[in-house]
Amino acid sequence: MKANRKGDETVTEERYAQMYEACYMRVFSYAMTLSGDRSSAEEITQETFFRAFSKQREFRGESDEVTWLCAIAKNLFADEKRRQARFGDIPEEMPDTEKSVERTAVERDSSFRIHMALHSLEEPYREVFELRVFGELSFSDIGKIFGKTENWARVTYHRARIRLQERMEKS
């Protein structure tokens, strides 16, 4: 992510474009996992890339770029939650006119049951599961986020999956 020191800004812009293309969907998926709302996830993702590009010198290269970007997204999400807790949040839910009422109700019910089961998982199982499934992160990246090993991430994910299956069978 370092610019060519000879003043060639094109190299930096091309690198940013490559990183954006390569990492956008993974960062967006992770933000979606955190927020549960497409609009918020898009906002978090855009702000993540803005901060990453404006503070690229802070990237020490100790982790993968996606891991670094997901850490930024996680901090942005936490900041937003603190802001909402202080000032309150008014939901802006617009009805989707292209879906049938029945289909929407079924999707909401299924989604609600899945999210209830996910919500009932203890940490770190919940976050590891969400990072792996929704964020599409590797076990290595998940381990880095938690400051643990890749094997720890694999075992934690496996245990989370088993617990989630048990909870889904109960409901």
**Alpha-carbon distances, residue 44 vs 23, 85, 94, 124 (angstroms):** 14, 17, 20, 22
Encode the chain (171 residues) as per-residue pLDDT tens digits: 444 444 445 557 777 788 888 888 888 888 888 888 888 888 999 988 888 887 765 665 666 788 888 888 998 888 888 887 776 654 555 545 555 666 666 667 766 777 777 778 888 888 888 888 878 888 998 999 899 999 999 999 999 888 888 887 776
For 137: left if phi > 0, alpha if psi spans -120 to 50, otherwise beta; the answer is beta
Q: What is the pTM of this model?
A: 0.47
Q: List CB contacts of 53: < 8 A, sequence separation 6 or more.
A: 16
Q: Is the CB of residue 150 less than 8 Å from the CB of residue 118?
A: no
According to DSSP, residue 147 is labeled: T
Give the count of beta carbons closer than 10 Å to the beta carbon of residue 29: 20
Domain boundary among 76, 93, 110: 93
pLDDT in the model for residue 34 = 85
Residue 146 in 3-state DSSP?
helix
Residue 146 tokens, joined:
């938690």
What is residue 88's predicted lDDT score, i.e. its pLDDT? 60
User: Are residues 131 and 48 both part of a single domain?
Assistant: no
Q: Which of 40, 63, 93 is the last residue of a domain?
A: 93
Q: What is the pLDDT of residue 151?
A: 92
Residues 65 and 87 in one domain: yes
CA distance 126 to 84: 22
Tell me, yes or no, whether 80 and 145 share the same domain.
no
pLDDT at 107: 67
Assign 3-class secondary structure to 44-69. HHHHHHHHHHHCHHHCCCCCCHHHHH
62 and 26, same domain (yes or no): yes
Q: How many domains does the chain have?
A: 2
- The residue segments making up the domain with residue 18 are 1-93
| pLDDT given for residue 1 in this prediction | 45
| pLDDT score for 7 | 47
Looking at residue 149, what is its pLDDT?
Answer: 93
